[in-house]
């Protein structure tokens, strides 16, 4: 079964509210650096910029596909990533990304953080 996961800066085992607050205030890093880190872990991932959304200039997205996992990076206007979404992946793959980037993952189905 393919689960969806969200990765953000934060402390494992914290409340959902604390995790949401951390996601809003802490950045993961510059989009180019985050993509490079993920690409080292998953060399087959290919990145594509998301389409511009009319009227929205403060957030953009990068999409990584090509396996095994799929990624979406939410990028602020200043080029900083605040949140990564992973899908079509195993928990162990999420844990690898979390460890590499110093992130906490949230299983979006069960709302368990790790």
Per residue in 45-94, pLDDT (tens digit) is 999 988 766 666 667 889 999 878 999 998 988 899 988 999 999 889 99
pLDDT of residue 36: 97
- The closest of 10, 35, 17 to 97, measured between CA atoms, is 35
Residue 95 buriedness (CB in 10 A; 0-12 / 13-18 / 19+): middle
pLDDT of residue 4: 87
Say which residues have a Cβ less than 8 Å from residue 70's Cβ, sequence separation at least 6: 63, 64, 86, 87, 88, 89
**In-domain check, residue 63:** yes
pLDDT of residue 10: 77
**In-domain check, residue 104:** yes
The domain total for the chain is 1
Tokens representing 6 are 């969200």
Tokens representing 32 are 């180019």
pLDDT of residue 114: 67
Output the domain CATH number for residue 30. 3.30.310
Average pLDDT, the chain: 83
| pTM for the predicted model, two decimal places | 0.82
pLDDT of residue 50: 82
Range of the domain at 95: 3-49+59-113
Q: Are 6 and 105 spatial neighbours (Cβ–Cβ below 8 Å)?
A: yes
**In-domain check, residue 80:** yes
**In-domain check, residue 54:** no
């Amino acid at each position: 079964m393919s689960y969806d996961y969200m990765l953000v800066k934060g402390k494992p085992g914290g409340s959902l509210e604390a995790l949401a607050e951390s996601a809003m205030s802490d950045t993961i890093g510059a989009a180019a650096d985050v993509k490079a880190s993920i690409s080292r872990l998953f060399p087959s991932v290919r990145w594509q910029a998301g389409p511009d959304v009319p009227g929205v200039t403060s957030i953009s997205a990068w999409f990584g596909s090509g396996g095994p996992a799929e990624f979406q990076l939410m990028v602020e206007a200043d080029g900083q990533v605040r949140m990564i979404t992973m899908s079509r992946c195993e928990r162990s793959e999420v844990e690898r990304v979390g460890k590499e980037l110093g992130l906490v993952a949230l299983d979006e189905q069960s709302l368990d953080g790790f």
